[in-house]
Structure 1
Amino acid sequence: MDNELRFAILIDADNISDKYIKIILDETANNGIATYKRIYGDWTSPQLASWKNVLLENSIIPMQQYSYTTGKNSTDSAMIIDAMDILYSGTVDGYCIVSSDSDFTRLAARLRESGMQVIGMGEEKTPKPFISACNQFKYLDLLYSNQQEEEKEEAVEKQSGSRNPESGKNKRKDIKPKDKELKHIRTTINAIIDKFSDEDGWLSSGKLGDQLSKRMPDFDVRNYGFSKLTLFIKSLEDYDVEKISTGNGQKQIYFRLKARKQEKV
């Protein structure tokens, strides 16, 4: 536990729904410990009433920010100032900035310049510059849809008393990535394999996943309805997938381009 990263969760209540709170906390917990949990908005506004019900049970501190001027978002300024104060305190290793607002692009870039791990969370409408400024970016609306589908599936299985053998493999059959999006993913995967594969063209799943997240901050196999990287790679049908011995009695999953001379490029 001592080696876990410490995160400050800063939530922009003005454009994030309270229905995402479990996903926000779970995704942060996957990366480390939340030492700060703050949410910003004008709590005198009835529009934030739904948030008030989840703050206490999740130990999230509401930060009051009045809307002094119509058309100006003072919440953004408050979050940015607090983020920098926390940075200079030296008490965290990273930030989880929850917003779909591009105004946090420069903040994310500045925090990364200081060696912070920055995880952005927002909806699909989030502008690309903010996404690119983060180490990782999670689409809350997609993860929420997946969560709802899983709960429905579990309810059906519980009612029927049997488990679907396909459960956990590809839960969202309705998710179909755009051709342009898939082309970009394939091009990125190919470039990673060319650069990091061994002399036989094989690359471990761990290395591929690490490099994908560095080059595509918003890449997450769950966005496409898959639970594991291996299942997603298999669905592309362009790669050989094998378990190869690591030499210590264990096996690890490796990927390689199909129909390719096994020579390092």
Structure 2
Amino acid sequence: MCAADARVAVLADCDNTSPDILEYALRVVAQFGRVVVRRGYGNHATLANRWQEALVRLAFTPCLQYQYAAGKNTADIALALDALEAMFDARAETFCLVTSDSDFAYLCRKLRERGATVLIVGESKTPDALRNASDQFFEWVPPEPASDAEEGHKAKPDAPKPPVKRRPKMLISAVALLAADTPEGKVGLGALGQYLKRTDPGFSPKTYGHGSLSEMVSTYPDLLMGHENGGHWVSVRAKPEVPRTQ
């Protein structure tokens, strides 16, 4: 099964991290396949407050776990059992755990022993025991808080305007991410478009004022497009840095 067809399960430990991490986790796992399982685990206090909006908006199934005794984290046990069940039922072969809790290190090792690919999306506080138990660790860095001037600007609704040609930084990040592990440092235009659609189902070049993805890519001064295999395959790569003269 190719990476594009791989089934991915994203399981979030809501008691251990911030809901802001979810969108980053979905962007990361989009390169590994199609997300078929989205679940968030936590107690009533967690899921009823700050996590509720994020789980609903990003189509995650909330898995509420009551704490039957003080100090007992039943949500962790439920997450681990659901991960193993999804693996044995062949619902997923790639697992992304959104957590910084080293208690999941053993679960990671068991999943990998059975042939599953395990990804961890966590914060800088994630211990090495958990990082090293996964196939790949992705560190999420919380965004800096917006200034008062930016907040005031956002509060004022803008009048509808025709879309202008824009170059979002996320496209450069996507090229860098997808091309990082390739020998030539290139990614196919089709694969790039598929990845962007996975990270944002509503993605369209027209939203940014462009008629097509190729037209959009061509406006980036830091990216290069090339036609290969007789023009049947279009590649995208970062423009090489020009060495500085002494």
TM-score band w.r.t. shorter chain: 0.5 to 0.7
Which of the pair is proportionally richer in helix? 1
RMSD, aligned CA: 4.2
Partner of 1:12: 13
Aligned residues: 178
SS of 1:145's equivalent in the other structure is coil
- 1:121–1:145 CA distance, 2 compared to 1 (3 A): same
Partner Cα distance (1:102, 1:205) in 2: 27
Q: What corresponds to 2:92 in structure 1?
A: 92
Instruction: Work out whether residues 6 and 35 of structure 1, in 8 Å CA contact, stay in contact via their aligned partners in 2.
Output: yes
Number of the residue aligned with 1:119: 119
Aligned equivalents of 2:4 and 2:120: distance in 1? 22
8 Å Cα contact 2:14-2:40 kept in structure 1: yes
Corresponding letter in the other structure for 1:92 = A
Runs of 4+ in 1 over 3 A off after TM superposition: 247-250
8 A Cα contact 1:95 1:116, kept in partner: yes
Q: Counterpart of 1:145?
A: 143
Distance 1:56 1:145 in 2: 22
Opposite residue 182 of structure 2, the aligned amino acid is G
Displacement of 1:2 in angstroms is 9.1
1:198-248, Cα deviation, whole Å (9 max, x unpaired): xxxxxx962599xxxxxxxxxxxxxxxxxxxxxxxxxxxxxxxxxxxxx97
For structure 2, the 5+ residue unaligned runs are 154-164, 174-179, 186-227, 239-246
SS in 2 for 1:56: helix
Return the alpha-carbon distance in structure 2 between the equivalents of residues 58 and 46 of structure 1. Answer: 17
| Structure 1 residues 57 and 125, CA gap change in structure 2 (3 angstroms) | same
**TM-score calculated relative to the size of structure 1:** 0.55
Indicate whether 1:39 and 2:37 are aligned: no
1:192 corresponds in structure 2 to none
TM-score of the pair, normalised by structure 2: 0.58
Partner of 1:76: 76
Q: Which runs of 5+ in 1 are unaligned?
A: 156-162, 172-203, 210-246, 254-265
Check 1:96–1:46 CA distance in 2 against 1; reply closer, same or farther (3 A cut).
closer
Aligned residue number for residue 27 of structure 2: 26
C-alpha separation in 2, matches of 1:46 and 1:40: 9
Contact 2:12 2:41 in 1 (8 A): yes
